[in-house]
Chains A and B, each alone.
Chain A
């Protein structure tokens, strides 16, 4: 009756220690020490924030305190939309809590089809494929589209998911300077003419909130016979006449658009849309699509409901831009150094001198009841330390006034502004 697998192992009373040079965790010693040094200064760990309650798209309770959220990507404030929540409830009741399988096998339910239909309608495109996260959409599309002997050309400030998509694939990788049209042109010109090429751009770059000169870049890419993929994660819902993104706003055509459900849509998931007649083949070849479980039914149902509402969310869109202009103008008037000259997107980044300044100010804001994102190298461009604000269509003008007063007080206390 002995089941080998269940037999109790006899452990030595005094096991030999793993030699430090063979302990695989030793490589993290510097990281552990740096984090400890930060916490020892007495600040709240910026990477261990817990939302104890979330009361609206713009408010939560953190460490027992009512807090205004100015660092989420809930741009369109869809997370508490009654229709979205009702769609999720209904799907939970009808289809259960999960799919237990890959899209390719048993993991495609009615609402996976419905959300892909909603995406086709939203983007006016013939093809839509949903992934389990936005990260996996980039990972899957990039590694599958560009194969051995082909080239991926990416902006140096690309998101980690784009870099990781490059690493996962077998293509040759070439970088160009951030948003530099001439540099892109030069690099494309040095590549073999006959080779397949994929240029990857982002509508909005999330660290500084700056936008890409997509129209010029797409023209350059086409001139060299390259296909273009644009990541519109931070623009969906409020750029362009239909809210499709920066590419629509600048009136250019791209071959593939990658996006996410975790920002304006208000849930989780990723997708790619395209008019390419062979687009469906991606489903048969893309490993991050095939070898993972599909999204739960309630998630795709909420996404579908949210996307359909975003198609006509003109009032929210206008409010979001009003909010961005108000906060940007207010911070600029207070004397803060910002990531962009103008309110180009719904992300407004305050540039600080060093980690100490960033942490001290971040802590002061949090203690006063405001959550923003702190970002540091290597996530940030040019080694900058940032406090990043991202706006929501549901922020009220009164909340923005409160936020500006908090920035003024903490900025003066820390000595960032005079």
Chain B
């Protein structure tokens, strides 16, 4: 569980520079609805996450990810 917590915290930290609305980030925070990111912001953010964890999140996977929690799960799986 500590791994998962670490991943979540790292993702939350990566969200901050893009968090223009100052939304409090939880597991249930959605990228589109809560953070109101457009496709360009999503692309920059995904690139940052990929570099941070040295993974690759395909567009197919991205389409399934709506919340920060789902992203943390996906990162955990890709790292594992």
A165-197 toward B: CB 8 Å interface, digit per residue (1/0)? 010000011110100000100010011000000
B60 interface hit (Cβ, 8 Å): yes
A156 interface hit (Cβ, 8 Å): yes
Query: Hey, which chain B residues are within 8 Å of A177, CB to CB?
Result: 47
Q: Is B58 a contact of A173 with CB atoms below 8 Å?
A: yes
Q: Is B54 a contact of A190 with CB atoms below 8 Å?
A: yes
A5 interface hit (Cβ, 8 Å): no
CA distance A106 to B50 in the complex (A): 50
Interface size on B, residues (CB 8 A): 12
A382 interface hit (Cβ, 8 Å): yes
Chain B at the A interface: mostly helix, strand, loop or mixed?
helix
On B, residues with C-beta under 8 Å from A are 38-40, 43, 47, 50, 54-56, 58-60
CA distance A30 to B66 in the complex (A): 23
Please name 20 further chain A to chain B contacts, defined as beta carbons within 8 Å, in addition to the given A173-B59, A174-B58, A190-B55, sorted by A numbering: A151-B58, A166-B59, A172-B58, A172-B60, A173-B58, A174-B56, A174-B59, A175-B43, A175-B59, A177-B47, A183-B47, A187-B56, A190-B50, A190-B54, A190-B56, A191-B56, A378-B39, A382-B40, A383-B38, A383-B40
CA distance A175 to B62 in the complex (A): 11
Query: Nearest Cβ distance between residue A198 and chain B, in whole angstroms?
Result: 14
Q: Name 5 interchain pairs, CB-CB below 8 A, sorted by A.
A: A156-B43, A166-B59, A173-B60, A177-B47, A378-B39
Query: Nearest Cβ distance between residue B54 and chain A, in whole angstroms?
Result: 7
CA distance A382 to B39 in the complex (A): 10
On A, residues with C-beta under 8 Å from B are 151, 156, 166, 172-175, 177, 183, 187, 190-191, 378, 382-383
**Identity of the chain A residue whose Cβ is nearest the Cβ of B57 in the assembled complex:** A174
CA distance A322 to B50 in the complex (A): 44
What total count of A-B pairs have CB within 8 Å? 25
**Identity of the chain A residue whose Cβ is nearest the Cβ of B47 in the assembled complex:** A177
Query: Hey, which chain A residues are within 8 Å of B56, CB to CB?
Result: 174, 187, 190-191
Query: Hey, which chain A residues are within 8 Å of B40, CB to CB?
Result: 382-383
CA distance A9 to B54 in the complex (A): 63
Query: Nearest Cβ distance between residue B76 and chain A, in whole angstroms?
Result: 17
CA distance A217 to B60 in the complex (A): 24
CA distance A183 to B50 in the complex (A): 11
CA distance A382 to B40 in the complex (A): 7
CA distance A151 to B56 in the complex (A): 12
5 closest residue pairs by CB, A with B = A173-B59, A190-B56, A172-B58, A174-B58, A172-B60
CA distance A238 to B7 in the complex (A): 51
CA distance A172 to B47 in the complex (A): 16
Among B38, B54, B58, residue most surrounded by chain A Cβ atoms (within 10 Å): B58
Query: Nearest Cβ distance between residue B59 and chain A, in whole angstroms?
Result: 4
CA distance A175 to B56 in the complex (A): 10
CA distance A166 to B60 in the complex (A): 10
Among B43, B47, B54, B55, residue most surrounded by chain A Cβ atoms (within 10 Å): B47
Query: Hey, which chain B residues are within 8 Å of A190, CB to CB?
Result: 50, 54-56
**Identity of the chain A residue whose Cβ is nearest the Cβ of B55 in the assembled complex:** A190
Query: Hey, which chain A residues are within 8 Å of B43, CB to CB?
Result: 156, 175
**Identity of the chain A residue whose Cβ is nearest the Cβ of B78 in the assembled complex:** A190
Query: Nearest Cβ distance between residue A183 and chain B, in whole angstroms?
Result: 8
Query: Hey, which chain B residues are within 8 Å of A191, CB to CB?
Result: 56
Query: Hey, which chain B residues are within 8 Å of A382, CB to CB?
Result: 40
CA distance A245 to B32 in the complex (A): 39
Query: Hey, which chain B residues are within 8 Å of A187, CB to CB?
Result: 56
**Identity of the chain B residue whose Cβ is nearest the Cβ of A163 in the assembled complex:** B59
Query: Hey, which chain B residues are within 8 Å of A183, CB to CB?
Result: 47
Query: Nearest Cβ distance between residue A416 and chain B, in whole angstroms?
Result: 24
CA distance A151 to B39 in the complex (A): 21
CA distance A174 to B57 in the complex (A): 8
Query: Hey, which chain A residues are within 8 Å of B59, CB to CB?
Result: 166, 173-175
Query: Nearest Cβ distance between residue B6 and chain A, in whole angstroms?
Result: 21
**Identity of the chain B residue whose Cβ is nearest the Cβ of A378 in the assembled complex:** B39
Query: Nearest Cβ distance between residue A196 and chain B, in whole angstroms?
Result: 14
Query: Hey, which chain B residues are within 8 Å of A172, CB to CB?
Result: 58, 60
Query: Nearest Cβ distance between residue A181 and chain B, in whole angstroms?
Result: 15
